Each structure stands twice: as C-alpha cells, then as structure tokens.
Amino acid sequence: MTADRHTARTARTAKVCESCERRIKPGERYLRWVTFPSDGLLDTIASCAECAACARRHGRAALLEATP
C-alpha cells in the first residue's frame, strides 16, 4: 500500500481496528486506509481502520501525526 491511501482521522463513531481488533473509541486518532484489487490483498475495494497503537507498531506513526 502507498502512503496516499492512508488518512489520519479522529473517530466520530466506534470502529474496530483491522490489525488487532481493538475497539477504536470516538475521539481517538486512527488511520483509515483503502485497498484496491490491484494491491493483491483483496478482490474488492475495501476501507479499513487501524488504531494508533498498531499504526505506530507498523511504522506508520508519521502518517498518524500528519495534519489533514
């Protein structure tokens, strides 16, 4: 996945982290990422959420800190 497919957001509703399945509570920062069939991960376009802890663990902390 490329960086332009990641967006740092603040949750308005509860979400589930796709990496660790932890609940992302309203008000928490998270990464929203999009995958396309050409990425080879899924057969369809998908939008997923990743909690801040997982984003940092996977080396995407800079994307999380970016201002919109």
Mean pLDDT (the chain) is 84
Domain covering 3-61 in this structure, CATH number: 3.30.1740.10
**pLDDT, tens digit, 9 for 90 and up, residues 28-58:** 999 998 877 776 666 777 788 999 999 999 9
Which runs of consecutive H residues, i.e. helices, occur in 1-68?
A: 52-57, 61-65
Task: Tell me the domain boundaries of the chain.
Answer: 3-61
- What does 16-33 look like in DSSP terms, one character per residue? E-TTT-PEEPTT-EEEEE
Give me 12's structure tokens.
Answer: 């308005």
- Backbone torsion region of residue 21, taken as left when φ is above 0, otherwise alpha when ψ lies between -120 and 50, otherwise beta: left
pTM: 0.77
